[in-house]
Amino acid sequence: MLAPGGPDINPGESQQITIQIATISRKGSFRKDIYLTTNDPDAATAKLSIQADVQEVIVIEPRYINFGMIKAGATHHKAIQVINKGNDPLTITHISANPEQIVQLVPQEEFILAPKEHREILLTLTPVESKKNIYGNLIISTDLEYLPQKSIRFRAQVIPESKETSQNTE
């Protein structure tokens, strides 16, 4: 948001107030109200509103990955879908994940998704015993100027090889 306050406005004059709203973490319809306090005795508070309908162009499903309890030293997979919900072809320029040492991704190279097309990405986790909990990010890079990256988070709880897992993640 810009213009947090301004100089005094003389009678008959106007002041421009620029409001900017990021939509990276929004989807669907929303309305944002911004309040101004003034010294107008009859309107001490004024409201500016911006509404929009945010359309997701890239959808990553699932939106959050929980591997659950997984055994150290073993390999665990999760499939992720990347969907182009836009009306134009979309280039996925790069896919990466962290922590890099224990995560592999297929594919990693650039590919193009036609409108409404989707593609599967396989996320493979090979945890080491030293880490009890793993928190990571899968980052999808695109050719969109306004959305160069989109990411989802994943987590896992690593148990020693000898213990039973409570969830089958293969």
79-99 b/e with 16+ CB inside 10 Å = b?
ebebbbebeeebebbebebee
Give the x-and-dash track for 20-49 against other proteins (CB under 8 A). xxxxx-xx-----xxxxxxxxxxx-xxxxx
Which of residues 22 and 130 has its CB atom nearest to other proteins in the complex? Answer: 22
Query: Per-residue x/- mask for other proteins, residues 82 to 111, rule CB under 8 A?
Result: ----x-------------------------
Q: Rounded to the nearest 5°, which phi and psi values hold at 5?
A: -170, 175
Number of residues that bind other proteins (CB under 8 A): 54
Rounded to whole angstroms, the Cα distance separating 81 from 120 reads: 5
| Cα 19 from Cα 48, distance rounded (Å) | 9
Binding site for other proteins (CB under 8 A): 1, 3-6, 8-24, 26-27, 33-43, 45-58, 86, 144, 146-147, 150
